[in-house]
Structures are given as structure tokens and as C-alpha cells.
Structure 1
Amino acid sequence: METIYIFFVIGFVVLIMGAKWLVEGAVSLGIRANLSPLVIGLTVVAFGTSLPELVINVFASLKGSSDLAIGNVLGSNIMNIFFILGVTAIIFPINVERISVRRDLPIGIFATIFLFITANGYFLGFENVISRIDGIVLLIMFGLYLFMTLRSKNPIDPDMKIDTKIPESWLKTTVLLIAGLTGLYFGGEWVSEGALAVAKAMGLSESAVGLTIVAAATSLPELATSIVAALKKNVGIVMGNILGSNIMNILIVLGTSAIINPLDFNTKLNTEIGMLLLANLGLFSLIHIGKGLHLSRREGVILTTVYIVFVWFSVVYN
């Protein structure tokens, strides 16, 4: 049993490093293919933040662990808004990009409502399952979101720099791609197996582990990036990155998971969907009630406190 725990922890490290290497290799490949920095940033780099969630969900879907897969996405999104934005705002108040409020927040709210309706099939006379057709619809919605982003006047923040320097050789690019894919495979396998073992050993449900432990670990890249940005007082892109990651988690991660294997929905998770919807609406209110497009330290404390209560509730209730 101890060995499984060790692989569980190591798996997260391997998974995150694998995502980093794969993104670096894919960026290099994109540059060699003469893709614009804008396209690379909106696809490869942005998608890289959701790779850990995607890989874990793919393995969870293959194992039939629907609660773990859905819990991971909901937990990651809730942590992104309440904890990561909260901690970042405490370190240094966040100036919010106008496009995040006008485009990303409404899309995040719509995606959450769509997930609720889709998962609770009894509203439409179906079973509570996120089906393969639902998964395809989610991916189509992401395609539309990407199209809207590419067409917008301010599709990407100028602070989001893309290193256009081509690696010294094709060999380095190939090694990065292979190492990244290998890391994602083994990291995802070890984490998914470890999560199920932890749930069994601690007497927790799969959804509780997905909502807390796995979600927290897969959100580490976003947390690290946001804290570094706050310490450097360069928080202009934090909000957009977090909201974009949340949209990808629902549309791409859950969409892909459902296509691989339809996800049975546990209605207990409606509480978390409601919490995520509340998070988006609350964030929208905080931004407008306060000093305009701004997230203050006091509001950061509120967000962080709510997340701590949520984690306690998830472990006890689930």
C-alpha cells in the first residue's frame, strides 16, 4: 500500500513535468511549421494548463471512475477561482482584463449551466449520464470559443510572451515530445491508480478525492504561475488564464472523457456544480461591486475562506 502512495506522489511530479515538456516540444514544432505566436499561444500553450486534468480524466474514464473524472474537473475549477485567485489577490490585488469580464466569465457561466442540464438527464427524460454525444457537443462548443477568441480584437494579452526561438535541433524537439508523452502516460496512470487507492484506504468517495486531493495537485501549475506573477506585480493575465483554464476543463477535458467512456453522474455533485456557478457569479459581482475591474486583498481573503469551507464540506459530505 505504501508503494502506491509513493507512486501517487511521484505521478503528480511526472505528470506536470510531462505536460511542460510536451508543451515546449509542441511550441517548437509550431514555430517550425510557421504558425503565428498568436495561434500557438491560444492552442498549445493555453491547452497545456489543462493537460494534467485531461490525462487523469482519460485514465479515470478508461477505468470507469466517473466520480473521479467529474470531481477532478469541478474541484480544479472551484480551486482556480476561490483559492488561486484569492491567494493571488492577497499577495497583490488583481487588475481584471475587460475581455475576461465581457467574454470569458459569461462563457464560463454558460458552460457550467450546460453541464448541469446535460449531467442531470432526468430534466429531459434521459439518464443521468454525460454521453458521447454530449462530449462531442462540448468539443464543438470549445471550437466556437476558440474561433471567438481568434476573431476578437484583443485575443491574447501582450504579456503572454511566446518564445519564438527555435530549439537547436530536431532531435531536441523530438526528445521533448517523446519525454512529454511518456511522462503524461505514466504520470496519469500512477495518479489515477493512487487516487482510487487513497479513496479506499481513507474511506473517502472517489468524488471527494477528485474534488480535493487530485484537483489541488492538477491545479499546481496555475497556482505556481499566479503566485510568481503576483510576486512580480505582473497580475494582468492571471484572471484570463484562470477563466480560460476553467472553460477548457469543462469543454475539452470533460468532453474528451465522455467520448472515451460515457460518464455516470452522481447527483451529489450537483452541490459542486452549484458551487462553481456561484463562484462565477460571485466573481462577476465582486469585480463590479468593488472598484471596477479590480480584485482587492479583502475580496481575496473572502474567496480563500470560502474555498477552505468548501474543502471541509466536500470531505465530510462526500
Structure 2
Amino acid sequence: MLIDSLFVLGGLVLLVLGGELLLRGAVGLARLLGLSPLLIGLTVVACATSMPELVVTVAAGLEGRPIIGVGNVIGSNIANILLIVGAAALIQVMHPPPGLARRDGAVMTGATLVMIALAFAGTLFWPHGLIFLLLLGAYIVRGYVVESRQGKTGPDGEAAEALEAAPDSWLPAIGLIIGGAIGLVVGSELLIDGAVAIAQAFGISDAVIGLTLVAFGTSLPELATAVVAALRKHADVAIGNIIGSNIFNVLGILGVLALVSPFEFTAELLVFDIWVMLGATLLLMAVLASGRSIGRMTALAFLAIYGIFIYVQFDPAAVAFADVALSAH
């Protein structure tokens, strides 16, 4: 058990470090190739910061455990909204930019609804994955066109910090990309192996491990970014990063997973967890649509809901109730 725990811890550390190295190297390479700061922010940074989730999900699918990956996506989206937005808003009150709910928030909600509809339709194959990826591409292109028309020429928040820390020559950029990729691959292997061993020892399902331990671990980069942004009095930019990450998780990560390994949502996920994800998404949308700031009381509510969600995953009474529901299902 100790060795398995060390595998999980080492995997998490490598995922965080690998993701950071890959981010800096990819941004540096994109800048050397002549991409604009705006395009780098909308594409390279958005994709690179979700690499831990993507690598872990694809690795789980290739190892024949795609439900860990599916649980990772659902759990990461729940954590992004309830845990990360809650933590950032607890440090500093958030003032979401106008139009965020109507534009990006609507896409996030739409992607979530499409995922739920397909979850009840049966197995997801490569055509579903291709559709998801095409929708993601359309979203990125649309975002670039809109930002360009509005006269925005540079990134903000996380993208701006990534540009500042990026190397300005070819060799260091390529070296960081290679090092980051190695860290992500090795870290994902350690995390999955350790998490599966712990799950089997305690009789925990793959879905719960993906929803909790793996999802929290792969969300650490976003959590660290949001907390740092809040401490620097830039908490507002964190919410945009969270919404973009959730869109990429559903359309990008599930899309790639469907391409490499057909999967279907287990009854365990369909009975409870997928609805918590939808509820968290609609809750955030309601807060954004109200036009009000996200204050500390709302932050505490978000964190409390997340705490209850994690508790329910391991509470014996809740597990017994879920077993009855699954039997009925």
C-alpha cells in the first residue's frame, strides 16, 4: 500500500511538473513559429494546461480502463467549478466579465448537455469523438475571430504569464517540450497504476477513483493557477480559464478517448455523478447570468457542495444506496 501511495504521489508531482514544462516549451515554440499572442492564448495555452487530464484519460483508455478517464473528465469539471472557482473567490471576490455567460458559458453548458445525451445513447465510438473534436475546433476558431474583431491583440492571465516564462530560442523550447512530455507520460502511468491498486485494495470502483483522486490530481495545475491569480488580485481571469478548461475536457479529451478506445458511461456515473456535473455547470451559469460578483459566501457554498460530493463518494450509507439504485437501474 505504501508503494502504491508513493506511485500516486510521484505521478501527481510528475504531472504537475510535466504540464508546466510542456506549457512553457509549447508557448516558446509557438512564438518562435510566429504565432500571435492572441492565438497562442486561445489554443496553445488552453490545450497545454489540459495535457495532464488528456494524457491520463488516454492512458487509461489504452490500458483498458476508460472509465477512469471518463470519471476524470466528470470529476475535473466538477472540481474546476466548485473547488477552484470557490477557492479563488474565497481569496478575492470575482467580477466576471460581461458576456461570459452568453458566449463561453453557453458553449460549456451545450457541450455538457451533448455529453449527457450521448451518455444515455450507448457506446461512444470514433465518429462521436470526431464530432466532439470538430466542435472544439469550431469553438477555438470562433473565439479567435471574435477576439480579433474586438481589437484584442494580446493574451491575459495565464497566457500572459506563460509568454513571459517561455524560452526565446529553439533548443530550450524543444527540450522543455520533450521533458514535459516524458513527465506527463511517466506520471500518468504511475498515477493510474497506483490509483488502481489502491482502488482494488479498498474495493473502490474505477469510476470513483477517476472522479476523486485522479480528477483532483489532474486539476492541480488549474487550482494553483487560480490561487496565484487571486493572490495577485487577478481572480477574474481564473473563471475564464476554468470555463475554457471544462469545454476542452468534454469536447477535446472525451473526443480523443472515443477515437482511441470506444467506451460507455457506467450506470454508476449515470445515476449520480453526471447530474452533479450538470448541476454545478448550471449553478455557475446562474451566478454568471445574474451579473453579480462571486463573493465569499458564494465561494463557501461552492466549496461546501464539493466537500459533500467527495464525502458521498466514500460514505458507506451513500455507497449502499447507490448499489440499490444500480440494481434497480
TM range (shorter): over 0.9
- Alpha-carbon distance in 1 for matches of 2:164, 2:13: 27
2:82 is equivalent to residue 82 of structure 1: yes
- Is 1:133–2:132 an aligned residue pair? no
- Per-residue CA deviation, residues 12-40 of structure 1 (Å, 9 max, x unaligned), is 11112111111211111111111111111
Query: Residue in 2 aligned with 1:275?
Result: 276
What is aligned with 1:310?
309
3-state secondary structure, aligned to 2:235: coil
Counterpart of 1:300 in structure 2 is: 299
Q: 1:149 aligns with which of 126, 129, 143?
A: 143
Please say if residues 98 and 293 of structure 1, whose CA atoms lie closer than 8 Å, have aligned partners that are also in contact. Answer: no
Instruction: Give SS of 2:236's match.
Output: coil
1:15 aligns with 2:15: yes
Between 146-155 and 47-56, the greater mean CA deviation after superposition = 146-155
| 1:92 aligned partner | 92
The equivalences for 1:17-56 within 5 A come to 17-56=17-56
Shift of 1:158: 3.7
How much does 1:171 deviate?
A: 2.4
Q: TM-score, normalised on structure 1?
A: 0.92
CA contact (8 A) 2:82 2:280 kept: yes
Moved more, 1-10 or 256-265: 1-10
Q: 1-side partners of 2:169 and 2:140: how far apart? A: 31
Residues 166 and 89 of structure 1, relative CA distance in 2, 3 Å threshold? closer
Change (3 A) 1:129 1:149: same
Q: Is the 8 A contact 2:21 2:176 kept in 1?
A: yes
Q: Contact 1:100–1:243 (CA<8 Å) still a contact in 2?
A: no
Moved over 2 A (4+): 1-5, 153-160, 162-171, 286-289, 314-318
Per-residue CA deviations over 1:259-287 (Å, capped at 9, x if unaligned) read: 00001220221222211111121112223
CA contact (8 A) 2:90 2:300 kept: yes
Whether contact under 8 Å (2:82, 2:305) holds in the other structure is yes
- Matched residue of 1:95: which SS? coil
Describe the superposition over 1:229-268 as per-residue Cα deviations: whole angstroms up to 9, x where unpaired.
Answer: 1122211211100000000001111110110000122022
Question: What is the Cα deviation at residue 157 of structure 1?
Answer: 5.5
Deviation at 1:66, TM superposition (A): 2.2
Asked whether the 8 Å contact 1:68–1:210 carries over to 2, the reply is yes
Q: 1:32–1:166: 8 Å Cα contact kept in structure 2? A: no
Q: What is residue 325 of structure 2 aligned with on the other side?
A: none
SS of aligned partner of 1:295: coil
Matches within 5 A, 1:185-196: 185-196=185-196
The letter for the 1-side match of 2:126 is R
> Aligned runs of 1:222-237 on 2, under 5 Å?
222-237=222-237
Contact 1:31 1:164 in 2 (8 A): no
- Which ranges of structure 1 fall in alignment gaps of 5 or more residues? 122-127
Letter aligned with residue 255 of structure 1: G
Alpha-carbon shift at residue 179 of structure 1 (Å): 0.7
From the superposition, tell whether residues 176 and 31 of structure 1 become closer, same or farther in structure 2 (CA, over 3 Å): same
SS at match of 2:100: helix
AA aligned to 2:257 is S
Query: Per the alignment, do residues 132 and 95 of structure 1 end up closer, same or farther by CA in structure 2, a change over 3 Å counting?
Result: same
The one-letter code of the counterpart of 2:60 is: A
Query: Which residue of the partner structure matches residue 258 of structure 2?
Result: 258
The code of the aligned residue for 1:145 comes to Y
CA distance in 1, matches of 2:299, 2:201: 35
Match runs of 1:52-67 below 5 Å = 52-67=52-67
One-letter amino acid matched to 2:300: V
Provide the identity percentage.
37
The answer to whether the 8 A contact 1:101-1:284 is kept is yes
Distance 1:9 1:166, change over 3 A: closer
